[in-house]
Structure 1
Amino acid sequence: MEGLRSIWLFIQDQVLGMKWLNQLIGNGLSWIGLDVSGRIGGSIQFFIYDVTKIVVLLCALIFMISYIQSYFPPERSRKILGRFHGIGANAAAALLGTVTPFCSCSSIPLFIGFTSAGLPLGVTFSFLISSPMVDLGSLVLLMSIFGTKIAIAYVVIGLVIAIVSGTLIEKFHMEKYVEDFIRQAQSVDIDSPELTRKDRIQFAKEQVVETFKKVFPYILVGVGIGAVIHNWIPEHWIEQILGSRNPFGVIFATLAGVPMYADIFGTIPVAEALLSKGAQLGTILAFMMAVTTLSVPSIIMLKKAVKPKLLAVFIGICTVGITIVGYLFNVFHGLFI
């Protein structure tokens, strides 16, 4: 058992976490005369290391996930979801969201398509919440930075929020609050052509390029913010605002995430820096979930598809769910850190 643990720690630290790369970059910066223990040198090391690591992992993960996704085009996904009923359908939709696009604005068109095709509203909302919040790529990247327990916990609670929120929306029977052009749309049942292995590889490559172009600016911004927090903001400031001494830290973190727009890959460097400065785990998870689920751009896009009352219910349920999860993880902070 100890041998397996050692192997896994090596994979987590050196393969996924690329600790060797951090050391290599630090040595290189020291060789050219930068003090990596100082603010400027440390910020440069943090920035180069995190950007390189995230980009390498991102491209590899997008390729693998997109290859898997090629087996689940929208029409096939709709048919799969149509076979489930009740909370099982919400769970299936949330799980499907883990192998679909990487930000909420990419998921909303699929949400509209699924709703137009006649899938239950709560099921489509479970998909919409899960898709940007939780994906296979985030699981691997979270493991590389925070460790296995935190990564799995984040994915599990993300799926729970997606399933519970979708189930509640279904119970409220709010179908009439979907915009008319979506409810009246006609579903066209077209069988997708069978893709060859070469086609799937080409699709995966195209997704890598497209997604990289879309998220790279947010990675740069996220890592930049993380570098500033990590090397320039005093630790006691973070502890006062987001630490255990502030009972409103979770609420502040949730509200702070709303104006931002980034996918999970852009929020992880910020979360990494906050955790190193003393912010509580639940507060950080609440911030990440708010950014990926409740960002203003995605809410604006969703507003075109649903009426204000349904939009308000969606925002309210997600906000309450994220806040509760944040406080719960703060209570059990010691089990994960």
Structure 2
Amino acid sequence: MADISHPHNRPAWHWHLGVAGGLALWWLAYKQLIPLSEWIAGLFPVDRHSHTGEAIAFFFYDVPKVMMLLALIVFLMGVVRSFFSPEKTRAVLSGRAEGLGNVMAAGLGVLTPFCSCSAVPLFIGFVSAGIPLGVTFSFLISAPMVNEVALVLLFGLVGWQVALTYLAFGLSIAVIAGWVMGRLRLEGWLQDWVRDIQAGSTQIPDEALTMPDRYRQGIESVREIFGKVWTWIILGIALGALIHGYVPEDIMVRIMGAEAWWSVPVAVLMGIPMYTNAAGVIPIVEALIGKGAALGTVLAFMMSVIALSLPEMIILKQVLKLRLILVFIAVVASGILAVGYLFNLLF
């Protein structure tokens, strides 16, 4: 963390005005991402509705979206973190409060309309603020997997019973998996630079910091974290864009319609290399169900696409060591498999 013991001479109201203006500009730019991506896609000599056109538009929408979310969330978490030392934060959110923290984090994930890669910036902010790892994983699992768009579309597609069951089991997976990972005490498997941020402290007491000091901490957090992960964000989303829209539905229906025990794990494995959000995968789900694929197998595929995508893992690799990513995949995949088998049994 940069030395903040000598504040600049700029008046505090300049900082307040600058931050407010910056947030307003951020919001205006964020609202223009879809038309901007469509405009850029239109510059390429390909049919906009072809696989290539879809991939181009997807890339030029998702890259700035995730970058902007990362910058905003890390800045805000840097400011918030200035009010709480790592010791205070861990004391509030660890121990007996951790189970409640898992439930709250999973509930927050349901309310945030994020795909897996978009949820990663908030996950990074939580981890760097010293929030227990298991609690942050509850959010990381529920944010993409239990999406309000998916709930509404599932309600219209297969009825409220399936939608509510999906909600209940999705939340249960997020809470239980996060709690289990918290119990395993895997903080040592975070990347070294993340642990350094967690262990760091400001050079003057929290109470002595002015708001400009806190703003500067937020800016410095953006510089520090953004510089570590931005290239991998682009790589991950580029990979996702390449496979976006190239879904071999006929082959998938033959696999997912099978009553063999292996259809559910194969569907999960098929979903991992793909990348889209909950709203984007629902049309695929609808097509697969309409062609006779088993409901539980299709839901397992959907959950793996939006909770265990390969692009997400590429980005997370800059925050988590490979061992921790493998544990995360194993825990979440186990929950998804359980949901798939259960839905095939019940529906």
Mark yes or no: TM-score above 0.5.
Answer: yes
Once the 2 structures are TM-superposed, how far is the Cα of residue 140 of structure 1 from its aligned partner? 1.7
Cross-structure match for 1:90 = 102
Q: Which amino acid aligns with 2:175?
A: I
Identify if the C-alpha distance between structure 1 residues 317 and 276 changes in structure 2 by more than 3 Å, giving closer, same or farther: same
Once the 2 structures are TM-superposed, how far is the Cα of residue 244 of structure 1 from its aligned partner? 4.7
Cross-structure match for 1:312 = 326
Once the 2 structures are TM-superposed, how far is the Cα of residue 246 of structure 1 from its aligned partner? 2.3
Deviations 1:63-108 (A, max 9, x none): xxxxxxx9xx757799999568132110110001112242111111
1:115 aligns with 2:127: yes
CA distance in structure 2 between the partners assigned to 1:111 and 1:298 by the alignment: 12
Cross-structure match for 2:142 = 130
CA distance in structure 1 between the partners assigned to 2:105 and 2:274 by the alignment: 26
Cross-structure match for 1:149 = 161
What SS class does the counterpart of residue 278 from structure 1 fall into? Answer: coil
1:277 aligns with 2:291: yes
Deviations 1:34-82 (A, max 9, x none): xxxxxxxxxxxxxxxxxxxxxxxxxxxxxxxxxxxx9xx7577999995
Q: Which runs of 5+ in 1 are unaligned?
A: 1-69, 194-213
Query: After the TM superposition, which residues 1-337 of structure 1 pair with which residues of structure 2 at under 5 Å, given as runs?
Result: 82=92, 85-185=97-197, 186=200, 229=249, 233=250, 240-333=254-347
Cross-structure match for 2:25 = none
Identify if the C-alpha distance between structure 1 residues 328 and 112 changes in structure 2 by more than 3 Å, giving closer, same or farther: same
Identify if the C-alpha distance between structure 1 residues 239 and 128 changes in structure 2 by more than 3 Å, giving closer, same or farther: closer
Deviations 1:101-139 (A, max 9, x none): 421111111111111111111000101111111122322
Once the 2 structures are TM-superposed, how far is the Cα of residue 290 of structure 1 from its aligned partner? 0.4
Once the 2 structures are TM-superposed, how far is the Cα of residue 238 of structure 1 from its aligned partner? 6.2
Once the 2 structures are TM-superposed, how far is the Cα of residue 250 of structure 1 from its aligned partner? 0.3
What SS class does the counterpart of residue 184 from structure 1 fall into? Answer: helix
Deviations 1:260-282 (A, max 9, x none): 01111111111111111111111
CA distance in structure 1 between the partners assigned to 2:278 and 2:113 by the alignment: 11
Once the 2 structures are TM-superposed, how far is the Cα of residue 152 of structure 1 from its aligned partner? 1.6
Deviations 1:197-221 (A, max 9, x none): xxxxxxxxxxxxxxxxx9xx98xx6
Cross-structure match for 1:15 = none
**Segments ≥4 residues shifted beyond 6 Å:** 75-81, 187-193
What SS class does the counterpart of residue 86 from structure 1 fall into? Answer: helix
Identity score, percent: 43
Cross-structure match for 2:56 = none
What SS class does the counterpart of residue 165 from structure 1 fall into? Answer: helix
Once the 2 structures are TM-superposed, how far is the Cα of residue 240 of structure 1 from its aligned partner? 4.5
What SS class does the counterpart of residue 255 from structure 1 fall into? Answer: helix
Identify if the C-alpha distance between structure 1 residues 125 and 238 changes in structure 2 by more than 3 Å, giving closer, same or farther: closer
CA distance in structure 2 between the partners assigned to 1:168 and 1:131 by the alignment: 18
Q: What is the RMSD of the two structures over their aligned residues, measured on CA atoms? A: 3.4
Contact 1:105 1:298 in 2 (8 A): yes
CA distance in structure 2 between the partners assigned to 1:124 and 1:239 by the alignment: 35
Identify if the C-alpha distance between structure 1 residues 326 and 181 changes in structure 2 by more than 3 Å, giving closer, same or farther: same
CA distance in structure 2 between the partners assigned to 1:148 and 1:101 by the alignment: 20
Once the 2 structures are TM-superposed, how far is the Cα of residue 323 of structure 1 from its aligned partner? 1.0
CA distance in structure 1 between the partners assigned to 2:149 and 2:186 by the alignment: 32
CA distance in structure 2 between the partners assigned to 1:239 and 1:310 by the alignment: 33
What SS class does the counterpart of residue 274 from structure 2 fall into? Answer: coil
Q: Which amino acid aligns with 1:298?
A: E
CA distance in structure 2 between the partners assigned to 1:128 and 1:171 by the alignment: 17
What SS class does the counterpart of residue 97 from structure 2 fall into? Answer: coil
Deviations 1:156-190 (A, max 9, x none): 21111111111111111111111121122147889
CA distance in structure 1 between the partners assigned to 2:184 and 2:273 by the alignment: 28
Contact 1:289 1:322 in 2 (8 A): yes
Contact 1:138 1:265 in 2 (8 A): yes
Q: Which amino acid aligns with 2:333?
A: T
Cross-structure match for 1:36 = none
Total equivalences in the alignment? 233
Contact 1:238 1:278 in 2 (8 A): no
Once the 2 structures are TM-superposed, how far is the Cα of residue 303 of structure 1 from its aligned partner? 0.8
